[in-house]
Amino acid sequence: MIRTISLICLITCTSWSASAAAQWEKASESDGLTIWSRDVGNDRVREIKVETVLDFPAERVWNVVRDVNNFSEFMPYVIEAKIIKKVDEKNWYQYQRLDPPLVDMRDYVLKVTTENKPPEATYYLRWAAEHEIGPKPREDAVRLKLCDGSWTLKALGPNRTHLTYWLYTDPGGSIPGWVARKANTVSLPDLIASVRNRSKDPKWKR
């Protein structure tokens, strides 16, 4: 159950109100992944991030995390994902719908902004829930109201990338707060594994 809910949160979907946040606390460290969490004054959920190093060029990982229209091919539970409005090459709006087991479907619209080579990064992508455009809420899905996050990629060489995934989201619905908080950390390895597997697939090209 918790693993299912966590994937709802993770596939979407970082609060940039860091001034109100506490210090990062290490939640776990294993298999090359370090997971952190911190309190941002929300009784239901915490802000989380995961750091790892992938043995792939930064550009290839960058292409994977931007391959929105094909998320349903490799991201768990994603049954619909598409760019619904493209502002320019670095800014767009996207819609995603998930159909995980045990809970109702979730969907959301995100406003996405990307940057090439901002400070401390080679590539940077961030998103936030957008409520003004996109498909209307579905009767058979819970529309996420809080879904903010980012990918930060830093090249460590021609074939190594330091990856940071940062998330602040609430799966919504009737899920208790303690389950939501736990869920936002336990399946981070699954999310990173999906990106790693897509990156190493020799048949995939964006």
Mean per-residue pLDDT for 78-107?
A: 92
Q: What pTM was computed for the model?
A: 0.85
Q: How confident is the model at residue 5 (pLDDT cuts 50, 70, 90)?
A: very low
**Would you give the DSSP letter of residue 18?**
G
Helix axes 177-186, 2-12, angle to 10 degrees: 70
Average pLDDT along the chain:
85
pLDDT of residue 19: 42
Mean pLDDT across 173-190: 62
Q: What is the mean pLDDT of residues 101-110?
A: 88
Greater model confidence, 117 or 197? 197
* pLDDT class of 117 with cuts at 50, 70, 90: confident
Query: Between 8 and 76, whose confidence is greater?
Result: 76
What does the pLDDT look like over 12-68, one tens digit per residue? 453 344 445 589 999 899 999 999 999 888 777 789 999 999 999 999 999 999 999
Cβ atoms of 123 and 160 closer than 8 Å: no
- For 42, the token pair is 């929300």
Q: Give the alpha-carbon dihedral of 60, 206, 95, 81, to 10 degrees.
A: -110
pLDDT at 14: 39
| Whole-number pLDDT of residue 179 | 53
User: What's residue 186's pLDDT?
Assistant: 66
